[in-house]
Amino acid sequence: MTDTANPIHDDEALPEVLTLPLDGWHRARGGRMVEFAGYWMPVQYEGIMAEHLWTREHAGLFDVSHMGQLYLSGEGLDAAVEALLPIDLSTLKVGRQRYSLLLNEAGGILDDLMVTRWNSGLYLVVNGATKWDDIGHLREFLPDEITLSHLEDAALLALQGPEAAIALASLGLTPAKPEIVATNALTFMQSGPYLWNGVDVHVSRSGYTGEDGYEISLPAEHAAAFADALAAHPSVKPIGLGARDSLRLEAGLPLYGHDLNEEIDPVSAGLTFGINKRRRSEGGFPGAGRILKALAEGTPTARVGLKLEGRQAAREGAEIFDGETKVGVVTSGGFAPSLGCPIAMGDVPAALGAVGTQLFLDVRGKKLPATVAAMPFVPHRYYRAK
């Protein structure tokens, strides 16, 4: 996701803001709605702190239907996509998912996204506030043989937390093909097609909180019934944008439009895992010259984690100081409910990026001590293959 969620109080703006398939569902459950990425979305239900901790301990249900769901197919698909992303599709098997980056010619990040191999094509999930630009970029640079379908009639739900697998299994989804395993047997970044009461759903074991969990794509007209079934499980509560942001920050996951943008390259952003091994040797993707040089020689700046002393949080835009010298800026920041202290991410000179480096953050004219910390701040708990 990409934009800061701020309440809109001007009723005249209401018709210009789109609604999600679950808009009424959220409002009926007390969701406080805000405008985010052009949609009305719930920022919280019972409170960000409570929702955050519930997700870490049980299972949280997030509506992420504002994200762009795209399907690419056609002759020469892999080569066409590899010309735009630093991904190695030759090693991406059916039912597997991979993180990647849409890059401009200078190696800057246009968006970060997930790519999944379906039987006859590639399924992409892109950020909500950039999806129209992404669609335009892909249509401009993909050859005519490639068909891009925007799955506008599909909803996308995320079920996250240590009890997500139990909750999803309770719905009795059945594999749509003999070779597909049960949802609780999926491993991190594995996906497959399932049936729920005769409805086609696609489930991937992935998410944006650092917890075990799933993302579920299904027809929008069935989203409310599916959400009702999940929310009926005692482990599951609906969770809003506020907790989604604090969860991903604790997990050290960057947010496009804040920690990532067109000026930032993947190496300085700490996303080199998104540049697959073969592509590092062969290149052939936008900005490869700059990025491969950065991989070999390093970058002048780095994205780092920061832990602050006290209780006062530093927000995006706070200046970072080394002594009296300004050296960077906070790109994401807030209070970490799981840790009981404020944390942040920011860009600083690479020489100051070592864990334990002492810095200061200017918050409303007050210099707050901060220490460069390892990320993720809270360990990831993805369900990986044994």
pLDDT at residue 72 above 50?
Answer: yes
**What is the model's pLDDT at position 3?**
40
**For residues 138 and 154, what is the distance between their CA atoms, to the nearest angstrom?**
20
Distance of CA 330 to the CA centre of its chain: 19
**What is the model's pLDDT at position 5?**
40
Q: Whose CA is closest to 122, among 95, 142, 102, 162?
A: 95
Q: What is the token pair recorded at 249?
A: 């920050």
pLDDT at residue 179 above 50?
Answer: yes
- The residues, ordered by sequence, that sit 6+ positions from 52 with a Cβ below 8 Å of its Cβ are 239, 242, 243, 246, 247, 337, 338
Mean pLDDT (the chain, rounded): 95
How confident is the model over 20-33, as a mean pLDDT?
A: 98
Q: Whose CA is closest to 237, among 33, 7, 4, 31?
A: 31
Burial of 37 (0-12, 13-18, 19+ CB in 10 A): buried
**What is the model's pLDDT at position 13?**
43
pLDDT tens by residue, 130-147: 999 999 999 999 999 999
Distances (CA, A) of 114 to 125, 135, 271, 287, 346: 5, 14, 13, 20, 23
**For residues 342 and 310, what is the distance between their CA atoms, to the nearest angstrom?**
8
pLDDT tens by residue, 46-57: 999 999 999 999
pLDDT at residue 1 above 60?
Answer: no
pLDDT-based confidence at 6, cuts 50/70/90?
Answer: very low
**For residues 376 and 386, what is the distance between their CA atoms, to the nearest angstrom?**
22
**What is the model's pLDDT at position 386?**
73
pLDDT tens by residue, 344-363: 999 999 999 999 999 999 99
Q: Which domains does the chain have, with CATH numbers?
A: 11-66+153-250 (3.30.1360.120), 300-373 (2.40.30.110)
pLDDT-based confidence at 385, cuts 50/70/90?
Answer: confident
SS3 content of the chain, % helix, strand, coil (to 5): 25, 35, 40
Note whether 51 and 243 are within 8 A (CB): yes
**What is the model's pLDDT at position 9?**
42
- The residues, ordered by sequence, that sit 6+ positions from 269 with a Cβ below 8 Å of its Cβ are 109, 254, 259, 260, 303
- The residues, ordered by sequence, that sit 6+ positions from 178 with a Cβ below 8 Å of its Cβ are none
**For residues 22 and 63, what is the distance between their CA atoms, to the nearest angstrom?**
8
What share of the chain has pLDDT > 70, as a percent?
A: 96
pLDDT tens by residue, 268-309: 999 999 999 999 999 999 999 999 999 999 999 999 999 999
How confident is the model over 58-79, as a mean pLDDT?
A: 98
How confident is the model over 307-333, as a mean pLDDT?
A: 97
pLDDT-based confidence at 15, cuts 50/70/90?
Answer: low
Q: What is the token pair recorded at 379?
A: 């360990």
**What is the model's pLDDT at position 43?**
98
What share of the chain has pLDDT > 90, as a percent?
A: 95
